[in-house]
Amino acid sequence: MIIIKLAWRNLWRNVRRTLITISAMSLALSIMILTLSLVEGMHRQMVHYATRLFAGDIQIHKKGYFESKDIYDYLSGGGADTLAAVRRPGLHASPRLFGSGLASSGENSTGTILWGIDPQQERRVTELSSHLLKGGFLTSRSGKEVVLGKMLAENLKVDVGDELVILTQAADGSLGNDIFSVRGVLQSIGDEIDRGAVIMGIDELGKLLVLPDKVHEIAISLSRPEMVDGIQAQLEKILEGKGVEVCSWKEIFPQIKEMLELNQVWMYIMLLIVFGLASLGVLNTMLMALFERTREFGLVMALGLRPLSIVGMILLETLLLSLVSTVVGAAVGIGLSSYLAAHGWNLSRFSEGFSMSGLTVSTTIYAHLSMGGVFASIICMILVSLVAAFYPAIKAARLEPVSALSTVG
């Protein structure tokens, strides 16, 4: 206890220098915590946009469909066996049918992507129904009603309640066509949906394409998205030999996966620089203290204090310095991260938004505070400080008592 008190008093011999060092270390730690929180929050938002808006965490198709998008590559048995296999606690699944065609209203017409969904199941898998610009979303009783992408509705000059003619090449070679009523228009979500999506009930699209009770895709959402790799492996094992492919969002959106990995690399480089600057601050403080206390160290060594005790004293002083700095830095970092987690960081003044892999991403970033990241940051800061102080400690331990006592200062 006496040693701790002595080490604490030694720290405050030069109050100005100690406060500057504490400020620098606290700033470094708070920057690290805030950076980790913002990057983690941004990553989670990107994955959320990719999976919850329309893709799902995992998709199951007939083998080859993901690349070919051939309307004849549908799941056997209407996907009933596959749906039964994936329906378990923590998983929600929704069947989908796809096609392409021509949508027209009056003199306006354009090519479209036709989406057939089960409205009730889709609500459990994606958030499409909560991203409406106007009107309503499909229900199980919608019948011949459709929901359109924002730009598609603008190009066709249609609004909620207007009629739309859909023309498509059916699976039997005939020309499928029908008249639908516009039930709703989606907000800007992504290029694919905005420009060309016509979303209708899966049964209605099945009739239009002459593909009754057929399913091209089963989209799955997880209650714990971080388990996506493990769940994907389990589903691949369960469905092995059934001629299907199980794709996670990482395969559906490889650009997002690569961007997140690149962000991680840049984050670690930045944190390495921050830690490097913090360690230089500690090194400078301890070296200056060594120069000021050279005669003191020489005296105590002449009185019989072992070199190892000198090392221990300096490292203890550094530890106390680190503890004070981490308390202040953690408080600031956690406070800022908590604020940005609740209110977000609006970057609209720098950009009106951007698109990634066809997704329209919000300009407001919400931090995600991980206590595991906070503790890791604190431990790293303390370790870096101790490593930085090791050189001055060894230098002090190697002093010759006679030469140290003759030092002027």
pLDDT band at residue 4 under the 50/70/90 scheme: confident
Please tell me the number of Cα atoms within 13 Å of 4 on its side-chain side: 4
Per residue in 133-152, pLDDT (tens digit) is: 999 999 877 789 999 999 99
pLDDT of residue 208: 94
pLDDT of residue 204: 93
Contact 186/133 with Cβ under 8 angstroms? Answer: yes
pLDDT of residue 390: 84
Q: What proportion of the chain, given as a percentage, has pLDDT over 90?
A: 33
Count of C-beta atoms within a 10 Å radius of residue 90: 10
Structure tokens at 107: 């003199």
Least confident interval from 179-183, 300-304, 402-406: 402-406
Confidence check: pLDDT of 86 > 90: no
Contact 249/47 with Cβ under 8 angstroms? Answer: yes
Least confident interval from 68-77, 164-173, 305-314, 385-394: 305-314
Report the distance separating Cα 249 and Cα 265, nearest Å: 21
In the block, residue with structure tokens 């109050």: 15
SS3 132: strand
Structure tokens at 58: 């995992």
pLDDT band at residue 357 under the 50/70/90 scheme: low
> What residues contact residue 265 under an 8 Å CB cut-off, 6+ apart?
none
Structure tokens at 178: 């029908």
CB burial class (10 A; 0-12, 13-18, 19+) of residue 21? buried
Distance spanning both ends of the chain, measured CA to CA: 29
In the block, residue with structure tokens 């969904």: 117
pLDDT of residue 274: 81
Domain range list for the chain: 2-51+256-405, 64-242
Least confident interval from 4-8, 52-56, 147-151: 4-8
| Mean predicted confidence (pLDDT) in 110-124 | 92
In the block, residue with structure tokens 């206890």: 1
Q: Which amino acid is at 404?
A: A
| Mean predicted confidence (pLDDT) in 195-205 | 92
> What residues contact residue 40 under an 8 Å CB cut-off, 6+ apart?
367, 368, 370, 373
Per residue in 223-245, pLDDT (tens digit) is: 888 889 999 999 999 888 888 99
Report the distance separating Cα 93 and Cα 82, nearest Å: 10
Backbone φ and ψ of 62, nearest 5°: -65, 140
Structure tokens at 300: 């105590």
